[in-house]
């Protein structure tokens, strides 16, 4: 039976070569190059995508492991004509410079806000129980897997806070 991966709602067949990572599958096979390769080793977060609602480093997993999964990439979050709230906030706050880490930051932040809403605690949380309060420290802790060598962190955090507070 053909194996398929749903990418932004469209089905794609799983590649024949089992060595192909989910990241290379998205970039090469599907042709969605918004997802970036910064290290190929799970060290930078540039390749972050959302699989079945959870953010992962797509370079650290093989495409063959995702039969039946729903993958959302940066292209699935919004378009230049219809950007998501976070995408708009990144533009407004200059939450990028070169833009290479940006899709990963935005995918990561999108899923991260859901994690906070669901009450998942982090190292920066006051307690392990109950609702998590959104703060700069919470965001920084949870976004620390997404490196930005341009050093746009202060603006990225401002953009995320802005959206988190608007929707809170």
The residues binding ligand FES (CB under 6 A) are: 37-40, 42-47, 57, 59, 96-102, 148-150, 152
β-pairing, 70-72 with 54-57? unpaired
In the complex, minimum distance from the CB of residue 16 to another protein, in angstroms, rounded to a whole number: 10
Among left, alpha and beta (phi > 0; psi -120 to 50; other), residue 34 is alpha
What is the bridge-based pairing of β-strands 10-13 and 54-57? unpaired
Among 87, 132, 163, 164, binds another protein (CB under 8 A): 87
CA angle 115, 50, 56 (to 5 degrees): 80
Residues near 129 by beta carbon (within 8 Å), at least 6 away in sequence? 121
Answer for which of 10, 11, 13, 17 binds another protein (CB under 8 A) is 17
| DSSP assignment letter at 134 | P
141 binds another protein (CB under 8 A): yes
29 makes contact, choosing from another protein, ligand FES, none, with CB < 5 to 8 Å by partner type, with none
Q: Are 39 and 46 in contact (CB under 8 A)?
A: yes
- Which of the choices another protein, ligand FES, none does residue 17 contact, using the CB cut-off of 5 to 8 A by kind? another protein
Which entry of ligand FES, another protein, none binds 59, CB below 5 to 8 A by partner kind?
Answer: ligand FES
Can residue 39 be called a binding residue for another protein (CB under 8 A)?
yes
**Residue 143 φ then ψ, to 5°:** -100, 5
Residues at the interface with another protein (CB under 8 A) = 17, 19-20, 24, 27-28, 31-41, 43-44, 46, 73-75, 77-80, 83, 87-88, 90-92, 94, 96-103, 106, 124, 136-137, 139-141, 143-157
């Amino acid at each position: 039976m053909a194996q398929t991966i749903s990418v932004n709602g469209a089905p794609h067949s799983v590649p024949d070569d089992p060595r192909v990572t989910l990241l290379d599958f998205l970039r090469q096979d599907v042709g969605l190059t918004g997802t970036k390769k910064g290290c190929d080793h799970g060290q930078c977060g540039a390749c972050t995508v959302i699989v079945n609602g959870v953010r992962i480093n797509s370079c650290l997993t093989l495409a063959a492991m995702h039969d039946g999964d729903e993958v959302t990439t940066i292209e699935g979050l919004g378009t230049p004509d219809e950007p998501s709230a976070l995408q708009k906030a990144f533009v407004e706050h200059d939450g990028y410079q070169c833009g290479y880490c940006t899709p990963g930051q935005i995918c990561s932040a999108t899923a991260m806000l859901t994690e906070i809403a669901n009450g998942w605690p982090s190292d920066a949380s006051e307690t392990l129980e109950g609702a998590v309060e959104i703060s700069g420290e919470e965001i920084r802790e949870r976004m620390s897997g997404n490196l930005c060598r341009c050093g746009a962190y202060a603006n990225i955090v401002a953009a995320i806070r802005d959206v988190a507070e608007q929707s809170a």
